[in-house]
């Protein structure tokens, strides 16, 4: 799991990084000293979890998470206990007080891993039908959309962008898991990054190296690799 540490104190960041090095399940991929820097890094690197200080120059940690649409798991790390209630109101996974104790941190990491495992098990359940309605949440925005109206799923790191109507929400899901749950007669794995709804295909053209270029009715163009092009031709040919 990828983690970002956000704290305006360099020594505090280093101390937490040292403690986290004992947990091989986590990889610290970036450190940030303020909310603005953190916002950019989260959008770019798409971590699974952030360790977030609350009191920082400029925007606070609480203000930061209100501005992030595709929010990873949040673990607050702070010297102040008076923000605990507010932290859990915004669905933080845990609230650690400085100085962080190794035993307490280990409990938090276990909670993080247990939640991920439960999410994976939940995801790997009943397959979807084309007429099913699915709940899509991106930050504070929510949709209850019919699966048949989704024309494209596009992988972005640990997230998947969902294309329907004029909306492009980003959800914390894996494309591989979606591929297993979707109807293969309707949703086709065009590449490592894309799953397309075949009912939304407008045109198909031959492309480089034996691949195909598909244009969807929403205007998106998706390249199908040579290997997947062969599979699509076999599946759709008379």
* Domain CATH for 162: 2.40.50.1020
How far is 177 from 187, CA to CA, in rounded Å?
A: 13
Answer whether residue 59 is part of any domain.
yes
Answer whether residue 214 is part of any domain.
yes
* Range of the structural domain that residue 30 is part of: 2-122
Sequence-ordered alpha helix ranges (H) in the chain: 10-20, 35-45, 61-66, 84-89, 102-123, 175-181, 226-236
**Can you give the pLDDT at residue 121?**
67
Identify the band that residue 110 occupies on the pLDDT scale cut at 50, 70 and 90: very high
Mean pLDDT of 86-96: 85
Q: Clarify whether residues 34 and 98 are in a common domain.
A: yes
Identify the band that residue 126 occupies on the pLDDT scale cut at 50, 70 and 90: low
Tell which of 122, 153, 181 closes a domain: 122
Tell which of 60, 94, 122 closes a domain: 122
**Can you give the pLDDT at residue 124?**
59
**Can you give the pLDDT at residue 11?**
96
On average, the pLDDT of the chain sits at 90
18: exposed, middle or buried (Cβ count in 10 Å: 0-12, 13-18, 19+): exposed
Q: Clarify whether residues 6 and 115 are in a common domain.
A: yes
Q: Clarify whether residues 165 and 220 are in a common domain.
A: yes
Q: Clarify whether residues 60 and 165 are in a common domain.
A: no
**Can you give the pLDDT at residue 120?**
66
Is residue 237 predicted with pLDDT exceeding 90? no
**Can you give the pLDDT at residue 98?**
93
Answer whether residue 150 is part of any domain.
yes
Tell which of 122, 142, 170 closes a domain: 122
**Can you give the pLDDT at residue 125?**
61
Answer whether residue 85 is part of any domain.
yes
Mean pLDDT of 220-224: 94
Name the phi and psi angles at 188, rounded to 5. Answer: -115, 130
Answer whether residue 26 is part of any domain.
yes
Q: State the total domains in the chain.
A: 2
**Can you give the pLDDT at residue 157?**
81
**Can you give the pLDDT at residue 141?**
87
Q: Clarify whether residues 111 and 193 are in a common domain.
A: no
Q: CB of 191 within 8 A of CB of 222?
A: yes
Residue 206, C-beta contacts closer than 8 angstroms, at least 6 positions apart: 212, 213
**Can you give the pLDDT at residue 183?**
92
Is residue 86 predicted with pLDDT exceeding 90? no
């Amino acid at each position: 799991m990828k983690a970002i540490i956000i704290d305006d104190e360099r020594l505090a960041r280093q101390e937490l990084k040292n403690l986290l090095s004992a947990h091989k399940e986590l990889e610290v991929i970036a450190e940030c000293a303020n909310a603005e820097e953190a916002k950019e890094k989260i959008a770019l690197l798409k971590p699974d979890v952030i360790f977030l200080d609350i009191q920082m120059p400029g925007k606070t940690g609480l203000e930061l998470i209100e501005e992030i649409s595709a929010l990873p798991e949040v673990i607050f790390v702070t010297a102040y206990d008076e923000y605990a209630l507010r932290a859990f109101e915004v669905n933080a996974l845990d609230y650690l007080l400085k100085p962080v104790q190794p035993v307490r941190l280990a409990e938090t990491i276990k909670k993080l891993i247990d939640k991920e495992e439960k999410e994976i098990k939940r995801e790997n359940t009943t397959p979807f039908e084309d007429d099913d309605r699915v709940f899509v949440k991106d930050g504070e925005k929510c949709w209850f959309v019919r699966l048949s109206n989704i024309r494209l799923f596009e992988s972005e790191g640990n997230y998947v962008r969902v294309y329907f109507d004029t909306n492009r929400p980003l959800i914390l899901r894996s494309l591989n898991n979606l591929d297993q749950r979707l109807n293969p007669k309707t949703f086709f794995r065009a590449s490592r990054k894309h799953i397309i709804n075949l009912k939304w295909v407008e045109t198909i053209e031959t492309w480089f190296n034996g691949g195909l270029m598909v244009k969807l009715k929403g205007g998106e163009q998706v390249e199908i690799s040579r290997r997947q092009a062969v599979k699509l031709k076999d599946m759709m040919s008379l």
